[in-house]
Structure 1
Amino acid sequence: MELFDVYPLFDITPVKGEGTWIYDDKGNKYMDFYGGHAVISIGHSHPHYVDRIKSQAEKLIFYSNSVQNPIQKELAKKLGELSGMEDYQLFLCNSGAEANENAIKLASFHTKRKKVVALHKGFHGRTSAAVAATDNPKIVAPVNANHEVEHLPMDDISALENTLKNEDVAALIIEGIQGVAGCYMPEKSYLKKAEELCKKYGTMLIMDEVQAGYGRSGKFFSFQLSDVNPDIVTMAKGMGNGFPVGGILIAPHIEPWKGMLGTTFGGNHLASTAALAVLEVIEKADLLNKVTEKGEWLIDQLKDLSGVKEIRGAGLMIGLEFNYPVAELRKSLLKDFRVFTGSSGNPNTLRLLPPLNVSQEEMQLFVDTIKQAISKLEENETIHLNS
């Protein structure tokens, strides 16, 4: 039997990770400035994280949500403390797509409506409602094509109000920072006005923090940069540092009923332990207060790179847009300099998503390396600054 071929694969087989570094089966060492789609939040194989998982695995790996699970309650308490959202309710699941799926379902249950509004270039997952809300026709199968989903331009308040005023929209779902698109951020004034309009017209505001959450923006959640209070917040990726775990935070005014949401594996003992360990590392290392400073330093160093057109994002979620396609640059960084970076929906944009605890020395090494990579490509006329 062969694997179902869905991704173009690099000819690299990682066998070990440590901090910001990955080692392959040939003994080569790679700097990881992508973290497997922003998943690695506290570095590969962090000692505390590994110890917590090993200890829990020796006790109990899984039982269903039909029994008490004190680790879930401990996780909810710590998450509330660090995020400042202690009055919200937590539902645990397994992935970002599942988190968005449940968030949309919850909004529909609560409002008794079925229409969803999302933004152009947004990405919310590959399951039914989540992929319908995703603005990428290539990955939306006919069975998922939902005419009840409308996509609007980012930062266009008039278009948003014209749609919401019909009072038939269950949810407005927005990424705090559009990751897959290339790190585009809504204006703060747009998010504040969107929150007001949602309250005015009875629409639930869902903030998708699957990629931008868990400290990556410098705030615990990126929407906190705009000081808004969503009805539902979704999260995953960095939440488990590689262990599959997702969740949604639900405002206190939303009342559940038994069976409204459910999951077999979500929040199991090992998953909850992994998510709790991530929070413990974030808290102990005071990472939230350091991410903003690191991101500002990195952006300042990168802004004068040859060919850079724009830098977007916040904290350690950075979109580096050049005035030429970055495929060759990304390939060279990986093949010639052994550095992982990310692509995006914008072919000219490189995504940088290092661990939150990346060191100053590692950031400097990355800056020096990308300068070398660009210089080499320019010398070989592989890239053209005005192409």
Structure 2
Amino acid sequence: MNLFDVYPLFDITPVKAKDVFVYDENGVEYLDLYGGHAVISIGHSHPEYVCSLSNQLNNIGFYSNSIQNPLQVELASAIETLSGCKDYQLFLCNSGAEANENALKLASFKTGKSKVLAFKNGFHGRTSAAVAATDNAKIIAPINAQQEVELFELGDLKGVEKALAKNDVCAIIIETIQGIGGLDEATTEFLKGLESLSKKHNALLIADEIQCGFGRTGDFFAYQKHGITPDIISMAKGMGNGFPIGGILIHPSIKASYGLLGTTFGGNHLACAASLAVLKVMRCENLMTNAKTVSDYFIEKANTIPQIKAVKGRGLMLGLEFDFSIAALRKDLIFKHHIFTGSAKSPNLLRILPPLTLQKKHVDMFFEALKKAL
């Protein structure tokens, strides 16, 4: 049986990883500045993480959500403590797409409406409503296109207000910092405007923090810099350091009822153990502070390289913008200098999404290689 060929693959086979490094089958060491799409938050194979998952697996790895699972309650408490999101409710699932799917479904239940407002260059997942709200026609199948979605330019408050006035919108969904779309961030004025308009027109504001959340920007959630209170916050990626887990935080004004949402695997024992380990390491090793410190150093180094036209993003969610396509540069960094980086919708943007354990010495390694490659 062949694999369904939907991924263009680099000819590298990782077999081991430790902190910010990945090792292939030939023992070659790679500096990981991509973290598998911003997933690796506390570093590969962190001892606390390995211990937590191993111990849990020795007890119970999975049972359905029809029984008590105290780990879910513990995880909710730990997220509340570290994020500062008081009184929100937690629903656990398995991925970012599923998180957004549940967020949109909940908004529709709450308001009784069905239309969604989203933004150009946004990416929210590959499933039903989430992909319809994603600005990429190539991955939207006809069955997804039945969803009612209207896309706006980031910052177009007048357009959003006009659409809301029709009173058929259940949700506004926005990435606080766009991921694959190119690291653009909405302004505080715009986000506060969305918050105000959503309340006025009985629509829910969904902050998609799947990539920019869980400490990646130096704040627990990227939206917190802007002083808004979303109705729903979606999260995944760095939440489990590689173990599949996602979730939504739900404002207390939204009431639960039996059967409203559901999942088979979401919030299982192993997933909770993984995320609890992530939160513990983030707290004990001050990784959000580290993200800010190393980010400042990274940006300072980037500003000394004339070929870099702009540095986008925040914390350890960064993009280096050039005036040429970075495809060849990225291959050079991987195969000649053994450094993983990422691409974006813009062909000229090199994305940097390393583990939050990244140190200044690793930044130096990258820029030495980048200068040679350029």
TM-score by length of 1: 0.96
Aligned equivalents of 2:372 and 2:306: distance in 1? 11
| Structure 1 partner of 2:324 | 324
Correspondence list, 1:255-274, <5 A: 255-274=255-274
Aligned equivalents of 1:289 and 1:192: distance in 2? 26
SS at match of 2:190: helix
| Structure 2 partner of 1:289 | 289
Aligned equivalents of 1:347 and 1:122: distance in 2? 16
SS at match of 2:172: strand
Correspondence list, 1:95-114, <5 A: 95-114=95-114
| Structure 2 partner of 1:303 | 303
| Structure 2 partner of 1:6 | 6
Aligned equivalents of 2:181 and 2:270: distance in 1? 32
8 A contact 2:121–2:182 mirrored in 1? no
SS at match of 2:103: helix
Q: In the alignment, does 2:210 pair up with 1:215?
A: no
Aligned equivalents of 1:78 and 1:129: distance in 2? 30
Deviation of the 1:86 alpha carbon: 2.4
8 A contact 2:29–2:338 mirrored in 1? yes
SS at match of 2:351: strand
Deviation of the 1:304 alpha carbon: 2.9
Farther off after superposition, 6-15 or 294-303: 294-303
| Structure 1 partner of 2:182 | 182
Which runs of at least 4 in structure 1 moved beyond 2 Å after TM superposition? Answer: none
SS at match of 2:59: coil
Aligned equivalents of 1:292 and 1:27: distance in 2? 32
Correspondence list, 1:1-387, <5 A: 1-146=1-146, 148-374=148-374
* Percent identity (aligned): 54
Farther off after superposition, 299-308 or 108-117: 299-308
8 A contact 2:103–2:206 mirrored in 1? yes
Deviation of the 1:336 alpha carbon: 0.4
Give the superposed CA RMSD.
Answer: 0.8
Equivalences, count = 374
Write out per-residue CA displacement over residues 248-300 of structure 1, whole angstroms, 9 at most, x where no aligned residue.
00000000110000000000000000011000000101112221121121112
Aligned equivalents of 1:234 and 1:289: distance in 2? 22
Deviation of the 1:303 alpha carbon: 2.2
SS at match of 1:318: strand
Aligned equivalents of 1:49 and 1:373: distance in 2? 35
Aligned equivalents of 1:183 and 1:21: distance in 2? 24
Aligned equivalents of 2:367 and 2:74: distance in 1? 39
Aligned equivalents of 1:308 and 1:24: distance in 2? 30
Tell me which amino acid in the other structure corresponds to 1:275: S
Tell me which amino acid in the other structure corresponds to 2:328: E
Tell me which amino acid in the other structure corresponds to 1:234: S
SS at match of 1:189: helix
8 A contact 1:307–1:324 mirrored in 2? no
8 A contact 1:17–1:44 mirrored in 2? yes
Aligned equivalents of 1:191 and 1:7: distance in 2? 35
Aligned equivalents of 1:17 and 1:146: distance in 2? 42
Aligned equivalents of 2:300 and 2:191: distance in 1? 26
Deviation of the 1:144 alpha carbon: 0.5
Write out per-residue CA displacement over residues 213-250 of structure 1, whole angstroms, 9 at most, x where no aligned residue.
00001100000111110000000010000000000000
Deviation of the 1:364 alpha carbon: 1.5
Write out per-residue CA displacement over residues 286-325 of structure 1, whole angstroms, 9 at most, x where no aligned residue.
1122211211211121123232121110000001110110
Deviation of the 1:147 alpha carbon: 5.2
Aligned equivalents of 1:187 and 1:160: distance in 2? 15
Which blocks of at least 5 consecutive residues in structure 1 are unaligned? 375-387
Deviation of the 1:88 alpha carbon: 0.2
Write out per-residue CA displacement over residues 141-197 of structure 1, whole angstroms, 9 at most, x where no aligned residue.
011013510000001111111111222110000001100111111111111111111
Which blocks of at least 5 consecutive residues in structure 2 are unaligned? none
Write out per-residue CA displacement over residues 75-118 of structure 1, whole angstroms, 9 at most, x where no aligned residue.
00000000001210000000000000000000000000000000
Aligned equivalents of 1:20 and 1:44: distance in 2? 7
8 A contact 1:330–1:350 mirrored in 2? yes
SS at match of 2:342: coil
